[in-house]
Amino acid sequence: MGDEATPFKVMVVEDDEDVARAIARKLGADGHEVEVAREPQSVMARLDNDLADWDVVILDVGLPGMSGIDVLKHFREVDSLASVIMLTGDRTAATATTCMRAGAFYYITKPFEPIELSAIVTSAARHSSLRKELAGVRSVTGRSDDPIETILVGISGAMRKLKAALDRLAEQDVSILIQGESGTGKELVARALHERGARRRKRSVPLNCGAIPESLIDSELFGHVKGSFTGATTDRAGVFVEADGGTLFLDEIGDMPIAVQARLLRVLQESEVRPLGGSGTRKVDVRVIAASHVDLVDAVEHQKFRQDLFYRLNVVALRVPPLRERLDDIPILAAHFLKKHAGAKPPALSPETLEAMSEYGWPGNVRELENSILHALALHRGETISPDALPPAISGRGKGAGSAVATNDDEDELTPLTEAKRRASGAFEKRYLTRVMEKSHGSVSEAARLAGLDRTNFRRLLQRHGIDAVTFK
């Protein structure tokens, strides 16, 4: 998870008051909004009247007056987008199979560990979020015509903070410096600021400073007159003139040569440009938004970036969080890219696929996520994308850059507490499963018995962690 988990709406349908209270207390402590129902009739009535907006439903199999299996089937009949977790004291495989075939997301047997419940509810809520987004339902933010909401996809705590800052800054005509890793969406932030701001009726002109040869960047920025250099066969206005009255987005400004930085500073101070080879100047009224993936403070200290230009650009600083700090946004981002690249009826991601994506470190951030969706769409078969359609580094079939992020031992780059706890829990679970499989000599039935789990759930855990029972025989 990220630095602040997204709250989920959970309905607990359980007639045992002690069990219901324990579940509500644990999930409430996790920050989720929890309702409890002692009998199923009121829950079904809300379903029938379209009054159910839960992300996750925890449903006891043995309920008064009606089987929990029948209630689960009703959830599927009305096309509820909530993920349903079945809860029972029956450890037999037959009951588990019945639940899964009826459409349950997961199956938990009593008694259960609180950490197990939290992890399963989080996975279920992610899957529900994906299904809602694909169905055109935004469970937390709602649909909006606000450019900040429509351009920037995400509902995590980190994204809510960023959007709140943009909301305050959009109408203020000040220079803004956006910093963030490559692939985080810095240009989208600049675009949202422009389209929400007072200059939205004028142009927003982007320029990637790192992609232009040093010999041409003056011309791109300030323009030139015909004949000013070899190849200048016509006059060129330059991006400052093109963006006059609007917004100029200077991406990767940290890659701009020092000599050009001095000329850029002069334009920002005087609000006028002189084209190369020209004799006169032209006044321009431009809001400058700059972005960099490098630490400009460090660049200033190493004399790779002018301090006076840094202060001129850094009137307000914004940080775009990396994807590993906003893992709650993966279902919505995945749904967004599925619809973007696969049309109105895209394939679904299986729960195992979504879980694999949520456990990956994403060194390439949102850009890498979009590419992984394209990869999966090219390789998947049928209506569901399974983990093996993902790139090997994400599915666990290969060792990718994400593994380095997930096991970072650098004391200077601490992982957020909730993310560290999630990873530690996953590592512990994998070690435990490996030990119990070794003890049972590869027998899944015996290992499940030793672990106190039914075989269906135990096999699901083995699949999640990429553990092959054959290797222990």
Tokens 């456990």 belong to: 359
Residue 78 within a domain: yes
Residue 92, pLDDT score? 67
pLDDT class for 437, splitting at 50, 70, 90? Answer: confident
The pLDDT tens digits of the residues spanning 342-358 come to 877 888 888 888 888 98
User: Residue 136: CB partners within 8 Å, gap ≥ 6?
Assistant: none
Whether residues 216 and 301 fall in one domain: yes
Average pLDDT over every residue of 404-411: 41
pLDDT over 70 (residue 98): yes
Whether residues 453 and 345 fall in one domain: yes
Greater confidence (139 vs 320) lies with 320
Among the candidates 69, 100, 134, a domain finishes at: 134
Whether residues 129 and 158 fall in one domain: no
pLDDT class for 213, splitting at 50, 70, 90? Answer: confident
Whether residues 342 and 280 fall in one domain: no
Whether residues 166 and 280 fall in one domain: yes
Whether residues 267 and 346 fall in one domain: no
Residue 297 within a domain: yes
Residue 139 within a domain: no
Average pLDDT over every residue of 280-306: 93
CATH number for position 447 = 1.10.8.60
Residues of the domain holding 303? 147-321
Average pLDDT over every residue of 46-60: 88
Residue 370, pLDDT score? 94
Greater confidence (46 vs 422) lies with 46
pLDDT class for 195, splitting at 50, 70, 90? Answer: very high
The pLDDT tens digits of the residues spanning 294-317 come to 899 999 999 999 999 999 999 999
Greater confidence (97 vs 63) lies with 63
Residue 1 within a domain: no
Average pLDDT over every residue of 30-55: 88
Average pLDDT over every residue of 68-76: 90
Greater confidence (336 vs 133) lies with 336
User: Residue 1: CB partners within 8 Å, gap ≥ 6?
Assistant: 122, 327, 328, 416, 418, 419, 422
Whether residues 316 and 376 fall in one domain: no
Listed residue (286, 187, 179, 167) closest to 237, CA to CA: 286
Whether residues 335 and 268 fall in one domain: no
CA 214 – CA 195 distance, rounded (Å) = 30
Average pLDDT over every residue of 125-144: 68
Give the three-class secondary structure for 276.
strand
Among the candidates 100, 134, 168, a domain finishes at: 134
| Total number of domains constituting the chain | 3
Whether residues 58 and 23 fall in one domain: yes
Residue 412, pLDDT score? 44
Residue 467, pLDDT score? 83
Whether residues 128 and 19 fall in one domain: yes
Give the three-class secondary structure for 153.
coil
Whether residues 224 and 358 fall in one domain: no
Mean pLDDT, the chain, as a whole number?
Answer: 84
The pLDDT tens digits of the residues spanning 360-394 come to 889 999 999 999 999 999 988 888 899 999 998 89
Whether residues 64 and 124 fall in one domain: yes
What single-letter DSSP state applies at residue 329? G
Tell how strand 282-283 and strand 272-273 pair up: antiparallel
Greater confidence (12 vs 466) lies with 12
Residue 333 within a domain: yes
pLDDT class for 211, splitting at 50, 70, 90? Answer: confident
Average pLDDT over every residue of 24-33: 89
